[in-house]
Structure 1
């Protein structure tokens, strides 16, 4: 049996992580990294530097406006469509050296977020 304060604390922790993930996804967390797999970039194409820059811009726009399913309360996983290609977004939590997993994803002082954009085949 869970008591009400434990449930409230868990919900508050989940919402704190979700807000920190939102900040990382939207480019407001200077310690976060946003990476795109080479497979995704190759599939979206681009023969020139300008084309590749536009691919990056479309991916970043999709990342910032993506929506989340109810089964992602931490807003750490989403699926979206970019140029007719299914793109997955995943947030992972690392220690400050980006070596090991974070001990506390709700604490930005000990956590670095890595937001990865990828094709389903890359997952």
Structure 2
């Protein structure tokens, strides 16, 4: 399928990802062990940074889905990533543009954990 034909699907995925990221509604949030070990105020500020993130560009968002970001906070570099699973979170979603078939999972991690 061409990029032009995929554009409406990418746009729908991007809207769903932006809503989920900004509200944390419509999916699951996972934090890694490194993030979990940080002080409570740093974890809270990091989650707020994820919700406020808007610095999408060709380097960090090549598919234009708004599914990845990074930022610096409290001397740490954080990454976050949205993945698409089926409704039971057992397999990848067959259609990430369909919220009835997809569970979005946002993982917040320290860059050093990658």
TM-score (norm 1): 0.80
Distance 1:94 1:101 in 2: 4
1 CA distance for matches of 2:81 and 2:7?
21
Cα pair 1:24 1:32 within 8 Å, conserved: yes
For 1:76 and 1:89, locate their aligned partners in 2 and report how far apart those are by CA, in whole Å.
Answer: 8
1:118 to 104, 109, 112: 109
Answering whether residue 89 of structure 2 is matched by residue 95 of structure 1, we say no
How many residues end up aligned between the 2 structures?
Answer: 110
Pairwise CA RMSD of aligned residues?
1.7
Contact 1:18-1:75 at 8 Å conserved across structures: yes
Give how far 1:28 is off.
Answer: 5.3
- Change in Cα spacing, 1:102 to 1:28, as seen in structure 2 (3 Å) is same
Structure 1 stretches of 5 or more lacking a match? 47-51
**TM-score (norm: length of structure 2):** 0.86
Question: Which protein has the larger Cα radius of gyration, Structure 1 or Structure 2?
Answer: 1
Gaps of 5+ in 2: none
